[in-house]
Structures are given as C-alpha cells and as structure tokens.
Amino acid sequence: MLVRRGLAPVKVALHIDQLWFSVPGGIATYIRELAPALIAEDPSLQLLPFRSRFGSGGPPAAWLERLPPVTTIDRPIRALYPRWDLLGRPGLPSDLASAGVVHATNQAAIAPTRRGQRLVVTVHDLAFLRHPQLFPRDWRMLYRAGLRAVARRADAVLVPSAFTAHELRERSGVDPARVHVTPLAASLPVGEHEDIASTLQRLAVPRPYVLSVGTLEPRKNQARLVRAYRRLAAQGRPHALVLNGPDGWLDDELRRELEARGPGRVVRTRDLSAADLDALYRGADVFAYPALYEGFGLPVVEAMARGVPTVASNTTSIPEVAGDAAVLVDPLDEDAIATALDAVLDDAALADDLRRRGPLQAAGFSWRETAQATLRVYRHVAGTR
C-alpha cells in the first residue's frame, strides 16, 4: 500500500465517461480497474469522478458504490468534447474545483483545469495518426484536436507501453519529459471450477475452436483472420473460429467476409458475462490476435494469463506485451497467420511451451503497479511527492 506519512492528501477529478459508451472497449477497462486500485493503494486519495450527459447503462452499481458520487456535466459529448479540446472550456463544475489534479482518461476529451489545478492525460495509442482511414471522420478529428490540447496543456501524460511513449516522441509535440509509462494488466477473473463444456454448450460454441476477442473494427484485422482461418479449414482442420466482441465501426469488409461462403464455421459471441468470457478463453485451443495497431493489447494478456497458446501481431506494442510467450506474425500476411495457427495446433510441444510461458509473462503486469505508478505521477504534478 503506497501511503506516505506527512504528505497532504491528493484530490483528483477523474473523467469516467467511457464507462457509459455503447462500446466501452479497453479505455473502460482501464478506468474500471484503475479507480479502485488507486483507492486501495492510497486510502487518503480523494477521487472525484465526473461524466458528461449521455448514454444509459454504465458500470455496475456495486462498482459505483466504491467511489464518491459521480458529478454529471449537463452537456452531451458532441457539444462538450470539441469545445474542451479546442477552446479549453466550458469549465468543470464548481464541486470539482477543490481537486488539485484533473485526470483526462481518454485523449478525445481533454477536460479543462482551473487556476492551480494540474492536468494528467492518458494517451492510449496514436492509431488515429498511423491509420486514419480506420476511424470515422468525427472521432479522427476529436483525437487530433485532443492530442494538440495534450501538447499544449498536459502537465503529465500516461501511456500504457514504451511503444506508445516512442510514438508520442516521434509523432506529436508532447514533451517527452512529461511522458510516463503505466502498463495495464489482465482484469478478467480466472475461473477454476466452472464447467467449460456446459458454458460452451449454452453459448452454442462448438469445440474445438480458435478464439479471437475484440471489437469488430478494421484495426483488429478480423477480416484477414477469417480468410487465414478458412485456409486451415479447407485443409481439413476441424476447428471453428469464434469471434467475441461488440459491433464496432467501419466493419463492412469483415461483414462481407462473414457473409461469403467458405469452408469452416465462424461463430459470433457478444455481451458475455465475465464468467462466460473466462470460460470461452479457457476452452480455446489457440488465441489469435492479429491486430494492426495496439497501444497495449489487453486480450493478449488475458489469453496468456490463462495459458492459452497465442498467435499475435509482431507490430506496435504487442511484442513488448507478449514477450517470448506468443507466436508473433505479420498481421498483413494471411499466409503467415494461417501458418502460425497451424503450427500451434499441430505441434504439441510448441503449444505446451506457450501454455507454460503465457502465465509467467502475464504475471509481470498488475493493476497494483499501474496504480502505484499513477499515484506517483499525481503526487509529482501536485507537488506533494
């Protein structure tokens, strides 16, 4: 527990909008895991969560009960985010004025600060610069405006990987001295006693299968994965391909691929409970994650934590996260993806080695360490270290 005697408590206004998004994604996981981890590490920390007015649902009530009441800004994101990024206003409500630090957890929305407040921003990745064609125009513009606001206004920038830190140095005007690497970690509880077979039967998932987890969007590269999988199916592999994740954006290519006739069987699952998703991971013969670009790659850590043999991209942050515990391939090469999957399914010694290495690699990441590193940044910018 990171508690230092004699230091004034830090009060942090924490932006948690992403928890209400229709597709919460990895940023919501980051917020959901980080907030309670921060409080556990430093009980003197005062978190003031805030959100804009939009959406329905949101995090479970039990999660919200662990935090102070959430302040709601009575503006929709379509009006609020562009003005925050470009103009630095409207200001935050007066009940957040006592916060010494404002933490913007999504670089699309750089919340303003009052006099004396310090701004911390988490930049999860710069995919919108590297692959702008993979993003809707409105979000691409928001991310660009947000990054410019980060360069102008942020006192500290948190990134999930050394790769993203390098990207910031190379592709933005952000001062490298203000960038701090705070890696993420597995967050899905690993089950031990659940009956995998009955769960898969209920989900209508046939065994054996190859699994991929992620929002259906071009950056996740599922269309190439489907084509690579069908090459294996055409050679007599009995495995199905299971794609788990919500519908995303610009997924026309994948939908055309799924609608086309071809060998094998592709199964979609979505909106699973934590226990069901855990069982889906643990029942897979191999996990495939040929994403084109990642700032971290949470599904890779989740698969490795369960000892699922993993085939993943050899680009961006994934080699840093996977280490030597996965088979890494060029995500643009469908033959390479198919060959790697076939090798893991065919070579029992290789699969066993990956099962052994995966949990060891995943254990190197923890939300406790993420919280500790984040608290150090809060204290640094607030001048209470």
Sort residue 86 into left (φ over 0), alpha (ψ -120 to 50) or beta: alpha
Whether 28 has a pLDDT exceeding 90, the answer reads yes
Asked whether the beta carbons of 131 and 40 are under 8 A apart, the reply is no
Model confidence pLDDT, tens digit, residues 293-306: 999 999 999 999 99
Distance CA 136, CA 71 (A): 29
Whether 339 has a pLDDT exceeding 60, the answer reads yes
- The amino acid at residue 284 is A
Distance CA 286, CA 225 (A): 13
% of the chain surpassing 90 pLDDT: 80
Residues 49 and 178 in one domain: yes
- The amino acid at residue 270 is R
Residues 35 and 147 in one domain: yes
Residues 176 and 39 in one domain: yes
Whether 222 has a pLDDT exceeding 90, the answer reads yes
Position with higher pLDDT, 62 vs 87? 87
Which of 43-57, 81-95, 195-209 has the lowest average pLDDT?
43-57
Across the range 333-354, mean pLDDT stands at 98
Does a structural domain hold residue 21? yes
Does a structural domain hold residue 16? yes
Residues 159 and 19 in one domain: yes
Cα 208 to chain centroid distance, Å, stands at 27
Asked whether the beta carbons of 214 and 247 are under 8 A apart, the reply is no
Residue-range definition of the domain harbouring residue 43: 11-185+366-382
Please give the pLDDT value at position 7: 61
Does a structural domain hold residue 5? no
CA-closest candidate to residue 50, choices 112, 138, 125? 112
Model confidence pLDDT, tens digit, residues 322-335: 999 999 999 999 99
Does a structural domain hold residue 4? no
Whether 159 has a pLDDT exceeding 60, the answer reads yes
Residues 38 and 174 in one domain: yes
Q: Which residues are paired to 247 by β-bridges?
A: 216
Please give the pLDDT value at position 134: 83
Number of domains in the chain: 2
Residues 338 and 375 in one domain: no
Whether 60 has a pLDDT exceeding 90, the answer reads no
Residues 202 and 141 in one domain: no
Detail the DSSP E strand segments found in 226-346: 240-244, 266-269, 286-289, 310-313, 327-329
Does a structural domain hold residue 220? yes
End-to-end CA gap in the chain: 16
Residues 281 and 372 in one domain: no
CB count, 10 Å around CB of 189? 10
Please give the pLDDT value at position 46: 95
Kindly indicate the confidence band of residue 247, based on its pLDDT and cuts at 50, 70 and 90: confident
Asked whether the beta carbons of 325 and 357 are under 8 A apart, the reply is yes
**Which CATH number fits the domain that encloses residue 285?**
3.40.50.2000
- The amino acid at residue 136 is P
